[in-house]
Chains A and B, each alone.
Chain A
């Protein structure tokens, strides 16, 4: 490859949110005609990287250059106009408009009288779809297409604005094997035309198939960049992890007691299959896995938010099938959702009220609520959990991420749940609050509660969980006690099931 100027360059970029550093001294470049893959676990900083490149965020320090021209502030439209298109996981097409219209949206070809020139639009759309070797019904409303096809339309649209750089963010998350092949064909074609492509994925086998260069990120930094030939699976995984884990932070191994929760061959078609495990009193069971592994769906099925199709759930030995979270709550379950802002808290209501919701539901008798008792108890819990706020009357909205998370924890603590499902308990939480949350988890354990902890944070799993389940593509692919676990082992298993395990068309 001739050494030409890179299409895109990041130099020593740093980015922090509310004091939490998310990218540190990241340098990255992209050349014409190459596929540059970016890998890393969840939380490694990949999505922030993309958002900076696409202009959604601006870097706090360092330089961002597009075709040699420096960007000074976040402006997605400007970046688009420089020829860089981002294809996100949440496809941003307009469902009501047709494929052809979506491709041409905002720059529709017009006739002399100013009407939409439909034949010209069709020709343009056809041409662009041909370029990527895809044929679709141009008149179909975009909302009726499969996700894969929608993505192709998004790519076609990028081409129609003469993009020279394509950013693909986890493009194959919900693809069948055939669809992946089609995407690869497109990518290779575009590569041949001199485009530069950034490809974010955790499907290692895909990376090795399509990538020319690989950049590995970890904890907001670039750990390694090099030609794809220079990596193999092992070295790749090691670059993704291989940190020094501070094992002094390890939680005490619990003496697991009676079985609190048991799941047998739980299945929800096309989401997770044949999941079995049991959870004991006084234990923290970690669940590792990557995007698309079905962990959250599993949690939601247990908690009664979603249904499951086959299998059985036992709570304290009794078979249950919760029709709604209300019923799960009655049996002592609680769940901290992955997305605390949208699902864990009512942002417009006060801290005290939020923390009391589950207690109110449980302790009301004939509709009457013992307010005095509940308020006292909840205030106590809020203090115990360490929520920092000027007053419990404040709206939750005003609190920091870590504190908001603590309010959700306080809610379930106050409701005296003894089976807690935590979905990414410390995501977006600063270091100090993290430690406090871990301390709370230790206290729960000591209190005889059981915790199912879904986490993408490997060090967290290795230090806080007593046992670790690994899920991939909806199946449990491994189980190991903490003593036998290592980051590489866990990640290796989580990445393993990519091969040949895709849903058939």
Chain B
């Protein structure tokens, strides 16, 4: 059928644009078969709901590109929330937000240091910092939510600009910034290098430690930004929010075409991954299907995505094995 090269081209194409393709199909289905799907209200709602996960997924992408993982995102979000609210009470929204961004970011620094300098496995490190962040969040306000009275702050999280949620603009800005970073900045290219081949990178003078530290810090920062938005929407600081958000972000990252083994993944893929879940959610809601079914579909989608990744990478493996003799 297709020549070897032709096949490889198709598979590489799928690699990069597979998620977008799936998204397109889902949107087409929604447009054709689901009433009100293409309405402004609905599309706006999808973006609104998924902007926060979208931010987390960007951070997760960075970490996953270095063959790591960040389980602490949800807890950092909660930590941001409660910190912002508490500080805001006495010092106003700006300082509140800053404090809310600073504290989780320092936890991110901790995670990054443990992974990069002490070479501890990312899964367990972020499992640990996840607990630490959650504990801190609960402790600071004794597990009570802290109501916020600042109108401007509350408006910002749920506000819209030209019918597009403000939070979506923030997400888009982050996407653009990250895409730029990953494609145009040397440090961004080094992120791919470290995940793809740590040893070669090291030998070429890439500062592997710094790269690894940085990605955890950025992931924490993005989680914190998500936390500020979330808090604004909620109208209060809550230490119990964000449960399992990191799993959602990991799911989006996987479906978006990134490899948990590092070195593979793109911002546009992640955007598609996040929106895929958003569209599924919307389609199910509008079709009157109980939201309880969502998880099953999500699970199936994630499994499918990873199974496809494997098929994509097998021909390459065979080609590499082909001519290499041993002893």
Contacts and interface: CB of A to CB of B under 8 A. Distances in A.
Interface stretch (A229-237, A288-296, A413-421): A288-296
Contacts of B264: 96
A80 B263 CA distance: 25
Nearest to A98: B189
What is the interface residue range for chain A against chain B? 35 or more
Interface string B8-20: 1000100000000
Contacts of A74: none
B205 interface: yes
A182 interface: no
A423 B327 CA distance: 9
Contacts of A174: 323-325
A297 B203 CA distance: 31
Interface stretch (A108-116, A202-210, A444-452): A108-116
B204 interface: yes
A96 B327 contact: no
A92 B197 CA distance: 8
B174 to A, nearest CB: 18
A101 B264 CA distance: 15
A469 to B, nearest CB: 14
B322 interface: yes
Contacts of A143: 196, 316
B205 A293 contact: no
B193 A94 contact: yes
A56 to B, nearest CB: 10
B185 interface: yes
A95 B263 contact: yes
A426 B203 CA distance: 32
A174 B199 CA distance: 23
Interface in A410-462: 423-424, 454, 456
Contact of B189 (A42, A97, A114, A296): A97
Contacts of A77: 203, 205
A282 interface: no
A206 to B, nearest CB: 17
A270 B322 contact: yes
Contacts of A94: 192-193, 196-197, 200-201, 263
Contact of B197 (A93, A116, A271): A93
Interface string B312-327: 0000100000111111
B195 interface: yes
Interface string A85-113: 00000001111110001000111101000
B132 interface: no
A105 B184 contact: no
In the complex, which of the residues B264, B323, B324 has the most CB atoms of chain A within 10 Å of its own CB atom?
Answer: B323
Contacts of B186: 108, 110, 114-116
Given A106-B205, A114-B185, A144-B316, A96 B325 contact: no
B325 A292 contact: yes
Contacts of B206: 105-106
B327 A289 contact: yes
A338 B327 contact: yes
Nearest to B184: A115
A195 to B, nearest CB: 20
Interface string B175-216: 000000000111001001101110111011110000000000
A239 to B, nearest CB: 23
B182 to A, nearest CB: 11
Interface residues of B, number: 27
B327 A503 contact: no
Contacts of B196: 94-97, 143
Contact of A92 (B184, B203, B324, B327): B203
A110 B188 CA distance: 13
Contact of B203 (A76, A272, A289): A76
Nearest to A101: B189
B203 A97 contact: no
Given A108-B189, A115-B185, A116-B186, A95 B197 contact: yes
Given A147-B324, A503-B323, A107 B205 contact: yes
A97 B193 CA distance: 7
A152 to B, nearest CB: 16
A474 interface: yes
Nearest to A109: B186
A292 B325 CA distance: 5
Nearest to B262: A96
Contacts of B199: 92
Nearest to A290: B327
A201 to B, nearest CB: 15
A97 B326 contact: no
B327 A270 contact: no
Contacts of A108: 186, 189
B196 to A, nearest CB: 4
Given A105-B206, A108-B186, A295 B327 contact: yes
A441 to B, nearest CB: 19
A46 B263 CA distance: 34
In the complex, which of the residues B184, B185, B326 has the most CB atoms of chain A within 10 Å of its own CB atom?
Answer: B326
A385 to B, nearest CB: 24
Nearest to B327: A296
Contact of B327 (A107, A144, A293): A293
A96 B193 contact: yes
Interface in A298-320: none
A314 B263 CA distance: 45
B200 A294 contact: no
Nearest to B8: A144
B324 to A, nearest CB: 6
A173 B325 CA distance: 8
Contacts of A292: 325-326
A157 to B, nearest CB: 8
B323 A147 contact: yes
A144 B320 CA distance: 9
A95 B67 CA distance: 14
Contacts of A107: 205
B263 A93 contact: no
A210 B8 CA distance: 36
Contact of A106 (B184, B204, B324): B204
Nearest to B322: A270
Given A94-B201, A96-B196, A143-B316, A291 B327 contact: yes
Contacts of B326: 291-292, 294-297, 338
Contacts of B192: 94, 96-97
A108 B199 CA distance: 18
Nearest to B195: A96
Contact of A424 (B204, B263, B327): B327
Contacts of B201: 94, 105-106
Contacts of A80: 203
Contacts of A147: 323-324
Given A424-B327, A474-B325, 10 more contacts: A93-B197, A96-B193, A108-B186, A110-B186, A115-B184, A174-B323, A174-B324, A272-B325, A291-B327, A294-B325
10 contacts: A94-B197, A94-B263, A95-B197, A95-B263, A97-B193, A105-B200, A105-B205, A105-B206, A108-B186, A174-B323
Interface of A: 42, 76-77, 80, 92-97, 101, 105-108, 110, 114-116, 143-144, 147, 157, 173-174, 270-272, 289, 291-297, 338, 423-424, 454, 456, 474, 503
Interface of B: 8, 12, 184-186, 189, 192-193, 195-197, 199-201, 203-206, 263-264, 316, 322-327
4 closest Cβ pairs, A-B complex: A106-B205, A96-B196, A106-B204, A92-B200
